Amino acid sequence: MLIRTPRHPSSFRHHLLTCVSISVGVITTSVLLSDCGNSSPTPPKALVYDGMTVPNTVGEILNTVKIVAERRLWDRDDFYTEETLKRLFGSQQIKVTAVPEEFLTVQLFGFQGQLPARPDDASQLSGFEFFARKHTKRPALPAVQGASQMFDYKTRRQFRAMISGTSQGLDFNTVAGIFGPGWKENREAENELFMAITREPFNPPPPRPTGYMGNTIITYTTGGSSDKQEVSFRFDAEGTLREIDSLALYGDP
C-alpha cells in the first residue's frame, strides 16, 4: 500500500521520474475519465479568456490551470494556438501541431525561474510543462487494438501538466487552497500505480511518504451528469505536486 494514514475526504522536455512514466498508463486509463459521451460538449460561445493575465508565480500558474479547467478552454479549438497560449502563459517554449480532420496538439514548457531545480537532482531540470490534444474528428477503429491504439481511439481530449523543481507553492495545502475543498482521494489509482511500479523487477521501490499527503492522487469533479469533468493531481512522496491530468473520452461504440 502507498499510504495508510487516515485522510479527510474532499492536484518540450519529457523529464519524469520512473513512477510518473508508469503512471501515464495507469492514471489515464483508470482514473481520469470525464465527459464520457458520444459527442463533445459545446464549448462556451462567449469570449471566455476575459480577465486572464499571464502568471508570474507558481500559485498564479496553478490558478490559470484552474480557470482553463473550469471554463473548459481546452475544449475550444482556439485554445490550441500559439496566440492563445502566449496570452495565457506568456513567452514560453510553445509548439503547435494541427492535422486537418484529425487532431490539434499543443506543448508548452517554461517557468524555470519560478521552479528552481532540486538540489539533489543531477539533471538540474526544472519548470512547468504541459501537453494537450483534442481530436477534431474521431479516429477510425484501429485494426490493431492494443492498449495505446485503443487509448487514442477512445480519447477525445487529453491534458497533462508535469512539474519539476521546487517551490513552496506546490505543497498539498496550498494546492487545495487554490482548487478548493471538493477533492477526493483516489486510493484505487494509488494502488494501481504502486503495482505498476513494483511489478517491474528493474524499477526501484517507490519511496515511502515523508510529507503530508505524500504519494497521494486526488481528483476534483466539476459539472453535472451531462458534462462531468474530472481533474487529477498526483503528489510525490514529499507531498509536492508533480502532475495534473484530465481526459475526455468518447462513448463506447
Name the phi and psi angles at 36, rounded to 5. -80, 95
Name the grid cell of 12: 518540450
> What's the half-sphere exposure (Cβ side, CA atoms, 13 Å) at 62?
26
**Predicted confidence (pLDDT) per residue in 18-71, tens digit:** 333 444 444 443 433 334 444 445 554 445 788 899 999 999 999 999 999 988
Tens digit of each residue's pLDDT (9 = 90 or more) over 153-165:
888 899 999 999 8
> Residues 6 or more apart from 31 whose CB is under 8 A from it?
186, 188, 189, 217, 219, 230, 232, 245
In single-letter form, the type of residue at position 196 comes to A
What angle (nearest 5°) sits at the alpha carbon of residue 243, between those of residues 17 and 100?
105
What percentage of the chain reaches a pLDDT higher than 90?
42
Q: Which three cell numbers stand for residue 183?
A: 477533492
- Cα separation of the two ends of the chain: 36
Please answer whether residues 26 and 200 qualify as being in contact, where contact means their C-beta atoms are separated by less than 8 angstroms: no
Give the residue among 72, 23, 52 at the shortest CA–CA distance from 245.
Answer: 23
Closest CA to 75 of 253, 247, 252, 226: 247
The string of pLDDT tens digits covering residues 76-118 is 999 999 999 999 999 889 999 999 989 999 999 999 888 888 7
Could you tell me if 246 and 34 are in contact, meaning their C-beta atoms sit under 8 angstroms apart? yes
Distance CA 7, CA 183 (A): 11
pLDDT band at 223 (very low <50, low <70, confident <90, very high): low
Interhelix angle 82-89/58-70, nearest 10 degrees = 130
What is each CA distance from 214 to 26, 84, 151, 188, 248, in whole angstroms?
Answer: 18, 34, 29, 15, 27
How far is Cα 206 from Cα 190, in angstroms, rounded to an integer? 11
The confidence score (pLDDT) of residue 29 equals 37
Q: Where exactly are the structural domains of the chain?
A: 18-249
CA atoms within 13 A on the CB side of 61: 26
- pTM value is 0.78
